[in-house]
Structure 1
Amino acid sequence: MGKIIAIANQKGGVGKTTTSVNLAASLGVLEKKVLLIDADPQANASSGLGIDVDQVEIGTYQVLEHTANAREAIQKTSSPNVDIMPAHIDLVAIEIELVDKEQREYMLQKALVDLKNEYDYILIDCAPSLGLITLNSLVAADSVIIPIQCEYFALEGLGKLLNTIKSIQKIHNPDLDIEGLLLTMFDSRLRLSNQVVEEVRKHFSSMVFDTIIRRNTRLGEAPSYGESIIAYDATSKGAVNYLNLANEILKKNA
């Protein structure tokens, strides 16, 4: 039985997509079968794995709308053992279209029922909002990874997200677990970065991953080539960080 992990934070620019793409690639290299679901209308996870977003005819939008089944939406990627359910800008419209549907929070969960046995891990790259798409992702997930950037407003909004997770646990998905808080964009030269790490560890001790994702120019370059950091530069700090994270997750779920 596969595990579904949502990567969520309503703040933009915290490293959700970078984490989704590179964690998927790292788990794939470690010989796990992975499906990455792009649940963000910006579709950056799709283009970051080499998918031509303008050519996507069946993707997350059609699956949430139930005009296509999940299997029809899946594409292979050049990353070993990694498939993707791509997104397209039309995903923006789903919030409005689902608004008056019954059980609208469960659309993704229903769509993934048959797929769960076919993958070791299903990762969902969530949009930077707490709207209906993210709600669907959290209802469908077994656990959630929350990336937090090591910058000034790091903890702002985290309380709101944790409250959202609590209410989802209460109403829709009692089994939703927090996989961990992931510190991203860490720069050891900055006092602020070190303070944020200290602060987050102090407040959330056991919930924080040991692995920290460091600032790394190669990580920023890889998506423009439609590649994960593993394919782009396997020796870079970024690649090592994400492989460490993948190993930490595998150990935790062993």
Structure 2
Amino acid sequence: MRTTAIFNHKGGVGKTTTASAMADILAIDYGKRVLLIDADPQGNLSTFYGVEPDEGNSTLDLFMGTHEPVYSDWISAARPDAPVDIIPSDTGLVQAEVAALKEDSRFNRHAMADLFRAIREDADADNQFAYDYVLIDCSPAFTQVSLAALRDADDIIIPVTTDLFSTAGMATVLQQIMGARDDGLQSSVAGVLVNMYKRGEDQNGLLAYLRNQKAVATFETVIHKSDKVVPAGTHGDPLIKFSPRCAASRDYRALVAEYVAQRGGHHNAKA
């Protein structure tokens, strides 16, 4: 099982789109079992998959420890036609983050690690809730929940756009991630993902800068800007089904192939 946090402390860089597109491609094209964790209080990923949090089955419940750690209790089926499972978000995560600062808080900073451990144990037992991939859609901030995802996931994908502010901010993100190693961070950075790319002199220059910097690798795949992404989200359809031939669909398929190949996985999609 591979666990990946999708994170940037800047909003509007395509974290949720990346999480959903990668999950759908891994499930539909590769036949993999995929779990999504919506770790953003805004809950956009949950909304996309048509999941409302019920008492006891949200990311909030996961971190507040409202029941015994039988992780399958937190899994919610997405829409019947959706190819993935999801742990939905809850707006109460904001209050939970505040409560986490109190000494008597029930907030479990190790909830993500406990979840991953339980999934791996089920995989060893060939349980129906075993997953091949877990993708975490983090909030655009270094919250306690985001930090748990960054600390306990196998690796991190950092989506950026090729504008000056996003590119300059990436250095800050990397500094904060590296600084988090003092808090036990074990994750490696799978790569910086250039998103919503549109050819032009300025963007080409910033893309070259990202690829030439030595701090962390940048994915070879670039996700081109596409006018099909927003309508797909509005309809609640996987991008690769809503518009399989659009630039973003082709790019996300190439990204997943590159991502799977990083770990030496079998990266041929189903015919």
Output the TM-score relative to the length of structure 2: 0.85
Question: How many pairs align?
Answer: 248
Counterpart among 107, 113, 117 of residue 117 in structure 2:
113
Give the one of 234, 247, 250 matched to 1:224.
Answer: 234
Alignment match, 1:76: 77
- Give the match's secondary structure for 1:137: helix
1:247 corresponds to = 257
1:137 matched residue in structure 2 = 149
- Residue 187 of structure 1 corresponds to 198
**Structure 2 residue 187 is matched with structure 1 residue 176:** yes
For 1:194-238, what per-residue CA distance to the aligned partner results, in whole angstroms no more than 9, with x for missing partners?
Answer: 111111111148701011001001112111112220232222211
The offset of 1:15, in angstroms, is 0.7
**Identity across aligned pairs (percent)?**
29
The CA deviation at 1:244 is 0.9
Q: Does the aligned pair in 1 maintain the 2:189–2:216 contact within 8 Å? A: no
The offset of 1:250, in angstroms, is: 1.0
Q: Matches of residues 26-37 of structure 1 in structure 2 within 5 Å?
A: 26-29=25-28, 30-37=30-37
Distance 1:206 1:160, change over 3 A: closer
Aligned counterpart for 2:89 among listed residues 80, 87, 106:
87
The equivalent residue for 2:39 is: 39
RMSD (Å) for aligned C-alpha atoms: 1.9
1:147-179 CA deviation, whole Å, 9 max, x = no partner?
011112122322222122213334313x31111
Counterpart pick for 1:209 among 219, 230, 246:
219
The counterpart of 1:158, out of the listed 170, 183, 189, is 170
- Structure 2 residue matching 1:157: 3-state secondary structure: helix
For the 8 Å contact 2:64–2:106, the answer to whether it is kept is no
Aligned to 2:269: none
| Cα distance in 2, alignment partners of residues 109 and 130 from structure 1 | 17
Question: Structure 1 135/56 Cα, relative in aligned 2: closer, same or farther at 3 Å?
Answer: same
Which shows bigger deviation, 176-185 or 201-210? Answer: 201-210
Aligned residue identity for 1:182: L
Larger helix percent: 1
TM-score normalised by structure 1 residue count: 0.91
Given that 2:39 and 2:137 are in contact with CA atoms closer than 8 Å, whether structure 1 keeps it comes out as yes
Task: Decide whether the 8 Å contact of 1:184 with 1:213 is kept in 2.
Answer: yes
Task: Provide the C-alpha distance between the structure 2 equivalents of 1:25 and 1:64, rounded to a whole number of angstroms.
Answer: 26
Cα distance in structure 1, aligned partners of 2:238 and 2:180: 31
Please say which of residues 212-221 and 222-231 is displaced more in the overlay: 222-231
Using the TM superposition, name which of 203-212 and 38-47 deviates more. Answer: 203-212
Give deviations 1:96-150, integer Å, cap 9, x for gaps: 1222348853232223320133111100000010121211111221100000111
Say if 2:65 and 2:107, in contact at 8 Å, map to a contact too: no
* Unmatched 5+ stretches in structure 1: none
Match of 1:128 in 2: 140
SS in 1 for 2:96: helix
Q: Which runs of 5+ in 2 are unaligned?
A: 124-129, 265-271
The answer as to whether partners of 2:223 and 2:252 remain within 8 angstroms in 1 is: yes
Equivalent AA in structure 2 for residue 96 of structure 1: V
Cα shift at 1:79: 2.8
Give the number of the structure whose alpha-carbon radius of gyration is greater: 2
Structure 2 CA distance, aligned partners of 1:152 and 1:163? Answer: 18
Q: Residue deviations 1:40-64, cap 9 Å, x none?
A: 001011112232x3x5432110011
